[in-house]
Protein backbone atom coordinates (compact mmCIF):
# COMPACT_ATOMS: atom_id res chain seq x y z
CA UNK A 1 0.00 0.00 0.00
CA UNK A 2 1.24 3.48 -0.88
CA UNK A 3 2.34 5.42 2.16
CA UNK A 4 0.82 8.87 2.44
CA UNK A 5 3.28 11.53 3.62
CA UNK A 6 2.36 12.71 7.14
CA UNK A 7 0.19 15.83 7.26
CA UNK A 8 2.15 18.98 8.10
CA UNK A 9 1.46 20.26 11.62
CA UNK A 10 -1.35 22.77 11.89
CA UNK A 11 -0.09 26.35 11.72
CA UNK A 12 -1.74 27.19 15.03
CA UNK A 13 -3.35 25.00 17.66
CA UNK A 14 -5.02 26.50 20.72
CA UNK A 15 -5.89 24.02 23.44
CA UNK A 16 -7.98 24.96 26.44
CA UNK A 17 -6.78 28.57 26.46
CA UNK A 18 -8.20 30.40 29.44
CA UNK A 19 -7.77 33.93 30.75
CA UNK A 20 -9.52 35.62 33.63
CA UNK A 21 -9.30 39.32 34.49
CA UNK A 22 -10.59 39.57 38.07
CA UNK A 23 -14.20 38.34 37.93
CA UNK A 24 -14.30 38.45 34.14
CA UNK A 25 -13.67 35.20 32.30
CA UNK A 26 -12.41 36.72 29.03
CA UNK A 27 -11.41 33.43 27.35
CA UNK A 28 -12.97 30.19 28.49
CA UNK A 29 -11.11 26.94 27.68
CA UNK A 30 -10.93 27.89 24.01
CA UNK A 31 -9.86 25.31 21.41
CA UNK A 32 -9.02 26.12 17.80
CA UNK A 33 -7.06 24.46 15.01
CA UNK A 34 -5.81 26.60 12.13
CA UNK A 35 -4.66 24.39 9.22
CA UNK A 36 -1.36 25.29 7.56
CA UNK A 37 -1.97 27.30 4.39
CA UNK A 38 -5.36 28.59 5.45
CA UNK A 39 -6.65 32.14 5.59
CA UNK A 40 -8.52 32.09 8.88
CA UNK A 41 -10.96 34.74 10.08
CA UNK A 42 -11.90 35.20 13.73
CA UNK A 43 -15.17 37.04 14.19
CA UNK A 44 -17.17 37.87 17.29
CA UNK A 45 -19.00 40.69 19.01
CA UNK A 46 -17.24 43.41 21.00
CA UNK A 47 -15.72 41.96 24.12
CA UNK A 48 -15.92 38.36 22.83
CA UNK A 49 -12.28 37.69 23.71
CA UNK A 50 -10.67 37.87 20.25
CA UNK A 51 -7.82 40.20 21.21
CA UNK A 52 -7.19 38.30 24.44
CA UNK A 53 -7.11 35.00 22.50
CA UNK A 54 -4.76 36.33 19.82
CA UNK A 55 -2.52 37.88 22.48
CA UNK A 56 -2.19 34.49 24.21
CA UNK A 57 -1.68 32.76 20.85
CA UNK A 58 1.26 35.00 19.99
CA UNK A 59 3.18 35.23 23.24
CA UNK A 60 1.97 38.69 24.28
CA UNK A 61 -0.19 37.57 27.20
CA UNK A 62 0.40 34.54 29.38
CA UNK A 63 -2.65 32.23 29.59
CA UNK A 64 -3.94 31.13 32.99
CA UNK A 65 -4.17 27.62 31.53
CA UNK A 66 -3.95 26.01 28.12
CA UNK A 67 -1.43 25.81 25.32
CA UNK A 68 -0.68 27.56 22.04
CA UNK A 69 1.28 25.58 19.42
CA UNK A 70 2.76 27.57 16.55
CA UNK A 71 3.75 25.28 13.68
CA UNK A 72 3.99 22.42 16.16
CA UNK A 73 6.02 24.29 18.81
CA UNK A 74 4.63 25.23 22.19
CA UNK A 75 4.89 28.99 22.23
CA UNK A 76 5.08 29.29 25.98
CA UNK A 77 7.54 26.48 26.77
CA UNK A 78 9.64 26.85 23.58
CA UNK A 79 9.13 30.50 22.59
CA UNK A 80 12.24 31.11 20.47
CA UNK A 81 11.47 28.71 17.64
CA UNK A 82 7.73 29.46 17.54
CA UNK A 83 8.21 33.22 17.52
CA UNK A 84 10.88 33.03 14.81
CA UNK A 85 8.25 31.92 12.31
CA UNK A 86 5.47 34.14 13.58
CA UNK A 87 4.53 37.67 12.48
CA UNK A 88 2.14 39.60 14.70
CA UNK A 89 0.08 42.74 14.26
CA UNK A 90 -1.24 43.41 17.76
CA UNK A 91 -4.18 45.68 18.43
CA UNK A 92 -3.31 48.91 20.19
CA UNK A 93 0.18 47.99 21.37
CA UNK A 94 2.51 51.00 21.53
CA UNK A 95 5.19 51.03 18.87
CA UNK A 96 8.57 52.70 19.28
CA UNK A 97 7.00 55.78 17.78
CA UNK A 98 9.95 58.12 18.21
CA UNK A 99 11.53 56.32 15.26
CA UNK A 100 10.75 57.12 11.65
CA UNK A 101 8.78 54.55 9.65
CA UNK A 102 11.92 53.37 7.94
CA UNK A 103 13.88 53.10 11.20
CA UNK A 104 11.04 51.20 12.86
CA UNK A 105 10.68 48.55 10.15
CA UNK A 106 14.45 48.19 9.83
CA UNK A 107 14.70 47.83 13.60
CA UNK A 108 11.99 45.13 13.56
CA UNK A 109 14.04 43.28 10.94
CA UNK A 110 17.27 43.57 12.95
CA UNK A 111 15.47 42.30 16.07
CA UNK A 112 14.41 39.26 14.03
CA UNK A 113 18.05 38.59 13.10
CA UNK A 114 18.16 39.98 9.55
CA UNK A 115 21.42 41.40 8.17
CA UNK A 116 21.39 45.20 8.20
CA UNK A 117 21.39 45.48 4.38
CA UNK A 118 18.54 42.98 4.05
CA UNK A 119 16.51 44.73 6.75
CA UNK A 120 17.09 48.08 5.01
CA UNK A 121 16.10 46.73 1.61
CA UNK A 122 12.96 44.97 2.85
CA UNK A 123 11.90 48.01 4.89
CA UNK A 124 12.10 50.20 1.77
CA UNK A 125 10.20 47.64 -0.30
CA UNK A 126 7.45 47.17 2.29
CA UNK A 127 7.00 50.90 2.89
CA UNK A 128 6.67 51.48 -0.84
CA UNK A 129 4.19 48.61 -1.26
CA UNK A 130 2.08 49.98 1.61
CA UNK A 131 2.07 53.54 0.27
CA UNK A 132 4.34 54.90 2.99
CA UNK A 133 7.37 55.75 0.85
CA UNK A 134 6.80 59.50 1.18
CA UNK A 135 6.31 59.22 4.93
CA UNK A 136 9.29 56.94 5.52
CA UNK A 137 11.33 59.68 7.22
CA UNK A 138 8.43 60.96 9.32
CA UNK A 139 8.31 59.96 12.99
CA UNK A 140 5.72 57.23 13.59
CA UNK A 141 4.23 59.33 16.42
CA UNK A 142 3.09 61.75 13.69
CA UNK A 143 1.44 59.03 11.57
CA UNK A 144 -2.35 58.78 11.25
CA UNK A 145 -4.12 55.72 12.68
CA UNK A 146 -4.19 54.01 9.27
CA UNK A 147 -0.54 54.78 8.59
CA UNK A 148 0.37 53.39 12.01
CA UNK A 149 -1.54 50.20 11.21
CA UNK A 150 0.33 49.85 7.93
CA UNK A 151 3.78 50.43 9.43
CA UNK A 152 2.97 47.87 12.15
CA UNK A 153 1.99 45.42 9.39
CA UNK A 154 5.33 46.06 7.66
CA UNK A 155 7.07 45.22 10.97
CA UNK A 156 5.08 41.96 11.17
CA UNK A 157 6.10 40.96 7.63
CA UNK A 158 9.75 42.01 7.47
CA UNK A 159 11.25 38.67 8.58
CA UNK A 160 9.08 36.63 6.15
CA UNK A 161 7.16 34.65 8.82
CA UNK A 162 5.19 31.48 8.01
CA UNK A 163 2.26 32.38 10.24
CA UNK A 164 0.80 35.88 10.39
CA UNK A 165 -1.59 36.80 13.21
CA UNK A 166 -3.31 40.12 12.63
CA UNK A 167 -5.70 41.81 15.04
CA UNK A 168 -8.09 44.04 13.04
CA UNK A 169 -5.61 44.71 10.21
CA UNK A 170 -8.07 46.78 8.16
CA UNK A 171 -9.30 49.05 10.93
CA UNK A 172 -8.74 52.75 10.04
CA UNK A 173 -7.12 51.81 6.73
CA UNK A 174 -8.36 53.60 3.56
CA UNK A 175 -9.84 51.52 0.69
CA UNK A 176 -6.79 51.79 -1.56
CA UNK A 177 -4.45 50.65 1.20
CA UNK A 178 -6.99 47.99 2.16
CA UNK A 179 -6.85 46.58 -1.36
CA UNK A 180 -3.04 46.54 -1.24
CA UNK A 181 -3.05 44.76 2.11
CA UNK A 182 -5.55 42.19 0.80
CA UNK A 183 -3.31 41.56 -2.19
CA UNK A 184 -0.20 41.18 -0.01
CA UNK A 185 -2.00 38.75 2.31
CA UNK A 186 -3.50 36.73 -0.55
CA UNK A 187 -0.02 36.43 -2.10
CA UNK A 188 1.38 35.39 1.27
CA UNK A 189 -1.17 32.57 1.56
CA UNK A 190 -0.72 31.55 -2.10
CA UNK A 191 3.00 31.20 -1.29
CA UNK A 192 2.25 28.69 1.47
CA UNK A 193 1.89 31.05 4.44
CA UNK A 194 -0.99 31.04 6.91
CA UNK A 195 -2.97 34.10 8.02
CA UNK A 196 -5.20 34.43 11.07
CA UNK A 197 -7.03 37.72 11.35
CA UNK A 198 -9.77 39.16 13.49
CA UNK A 199 -12.35 41.47 12.00
CA UNK A 200 -15.84 42.84 12.57
CA UNK A 201 -16.46 43.17 8.83
CA UNK A 202 -18.28 40.03 7.69
CA UNK A 203 -18.09 40.85 3.96
CA UNK A 204 -14.34 41.20 4.23
CA UNK A 205 -13.97 37.88 6.02
CA UNK A 206 -16.23 36.20 3.44
CA UNK A 207 -14.20 37.66 0.59
CA UNK A 208 -10.76 36.88 1.99
CA UNK A 209 -10.91 33.91 4.31
CA UNK A 210 -11.36 30.21 3.57
CA UNK A 211 -11.89 29.31 7.25
CA UNK A 212 -13.73 31.14 10.00
CA UNK A 213 -14.42 30.84 13.71
CA UNK A 214 -17.24 32.65 15.49
CA UNK A 215 -16.24 33.53 19.06
CA UNK A 216 -18.53 34.79 21.77
CA UNK A 217 -18.06 35.09 25.54
CA UNK A 218 -14.60 33.56 25.26
CA UNK A 219 -15.71 30.37 23.50
CA UNK A 220 -15.81 29.14 19.91
CA UNK A 221 -19.45 28.80 18.80
CA UNK A 222 -18.68 27.54 15.29
CA UNK A 223 -15.48 26.88 13.35
CA UNK A 224 -14.48 25.31 10.07
CA UNK A 225 -14.38 26.18 6.41
CA UNK A 226 -16.29 29.28 5.41
CA UNK A 227 -18.95 27.15 3.72
CA UNK A 228 -19.35 24.88 6.75
CA UNK A 229 -19.85 27.84 9.05
CA UNK A 230 -22.15 29.77 6.67
CA UNK A 231 -24.24 26.64 6.18
CA UNK A 232 -25.87 27.95 3.00
CA UNK A 233 -26.59 31.48 4.28
CA UNK A 234 -24.49 34.59 4.66
CA UNK A 235 -21.83 34.83 7.33
CA UNK A 236 -23.58 37.84 8.81
CA UNK A 237 -26.85 35.93 9.20
CA UNK A 238 -25.06 32.98 10.74
CA UNK A 239 -23.19 35.32 13.07
CA UNK A 240 -26.42 36.96 14.24
CA UNK A 241 -28.10 33.54 14.66
CA UNK A 242 -25.20 32.25 16.73
CA UNK A 243 -24.43 35.33 18.78
CA UNK A 244 -27.94 36.81 19.02
CA UNK A 245 -28.57 39.34 21.73
CA UNK A 246 -29.46 42.38 19.59
CA UNK A 247 -30.64 45.17 21.89
CA UNK A 248 -34.22 46.29 21.38
CA UNK A 249 -34.14 50.06 20.96
CA UNK A 250 -37.84 50.44 20.18
CA UNK A 251 -39.25 53.10 22.46
CA UNK A 252 -35.90 54.18 23.87
CA UNK A 253 -33.64 57.08 22.88
CA UNK A 254 -36.72 59.18 22.14
CA UNK A 255 -34.72 62.35 22.87
CA UNK A 256 -32.48 61.49 19.90
CA UNK A 257 -35.43 61.59 17.53
CA UNK A 258 -36.96 64.84 18.81
CA UNK A 259 -36.74 67.46 16.08
CA UNK A 260 -37.70 70.31 18.44
CA UNK A 261 -35.01 69.53 21.04
CA UNK A 262 -34.42 72.48 23.31
CA UNK A 263 -30.80 73.48 23.57
N1 LIG B 1 -6.42 43.96 30.57
C2 LIG B 1 -7.71 43.74 30.86
N3 LIG B 1 -8.17 43.91 32.09
C4 LIG B 1 -9.47 43.65 32.41
N5 LIG B 1 -10.38 43.18 31.53
C6 LIG B 1 -9.96 42.98 30.28
C7 LIG B 1 -8.61 43.24 29.86
N8 LIG B 1 -8.49 42.93 28.56
C9 LIG B 1 -9.71 42.51 28.16
N10 LIG B 1 -10.59 42.53 29.19
C11 LIG B 1 -12.00 42.10 29.13
O12 LIG B 1 -12.04 40.82 28.54
C13 LIG B 1 -13.12 40.71 27.64
C14 LIG B 1 -12.59 40.33 26.25
O15 LIG B 1 -11.89 41.45 25.71
P16 LIG B 1 -11.19 41.41 24.28
O17 LIG B 1 -10.50 42.74 24.11
O18 LIG B 1 -10.36 40.19 24.18
O19 LIG B 1 -12.44 41.30 23.32
P20 LIG B 1 -12.53 41.49 21.73
O21 LIG B 1 -13.32 40.35 21.20
O22 LIG B 1 -11.17 41.70 21.15
O23 LIG B 1 -13.39 42.83 21.63
P24 LIG B 1 -13.47 43.97 20.48
O25 LIG B 1 -14.12 43.33 19.31
O26 LIG B 1 -14.37 45.00 21.12
O27 LIG B 1 -12.08 44.47 20.23
C28 LIG B 1 -13.86 42.04 27.70
O29 LIG B 1 -14.93 41.91 28.58
C30 LIG B 1 -12.84 43.01 28.25
O31 LIG B 1 -13.44 44.04 28.97
Ordered DSSP codes for 197-255: EE-S-HHHHHHH-SEEEEEETTEEEEEEEHHHHHTTS-HHHHHHHHH------TT--HH
Q: Is the pLDDT of residue 2 over 70?
A: no
d(CA 169, CA 42): 12
Query: What pLDDT was estimated at residue 174?
Result: 87
Condensed to tens digits (0 to 9), the pLDDT of residues 134-193 reads 999 999 999 988 899 999 999 999 999 999 999 999 888 888 888 888 988 998 999 999
Q: In the structure, which protein residues have their CB atom closer than 6 angstroms to any atom of ligand 1?
A: 21, 24, 26, 44, 46-52
The CA 117 to ligand 1 mean position distance, Å, reads 40
Closest approach atom of ligand 1 to CA 27: 14
- Backbone dihedral angles phi then psi of residue 94, each to the nearest 5 degrees: -65, 135
Structural domains of the chain ordered from first start = 8-85+162-241 (3.40.50.300), 92-160 (no CATH)
ipTM over cut 0.90 = yes
d(CA 97, CA 139): 6
Condensed to tens digits (0 to 9), the pLDDT of residues 143-158 reads 988 899 999 999 999 9
Q: Which residue is closest in CA terms to ligand 1's atom 11? A: 26
Query: What pLDDT was estimated at residue 130?
Result: 92
Amino acid sequence: MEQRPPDPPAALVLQGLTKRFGDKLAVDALDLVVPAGSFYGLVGPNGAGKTTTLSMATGLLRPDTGRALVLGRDLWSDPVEGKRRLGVLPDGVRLFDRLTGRELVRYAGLLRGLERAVAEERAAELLTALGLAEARDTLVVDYSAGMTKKVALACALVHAPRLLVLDEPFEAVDPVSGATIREILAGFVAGGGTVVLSSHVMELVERLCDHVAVVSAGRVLAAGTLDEVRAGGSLEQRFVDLVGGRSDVTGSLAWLRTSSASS
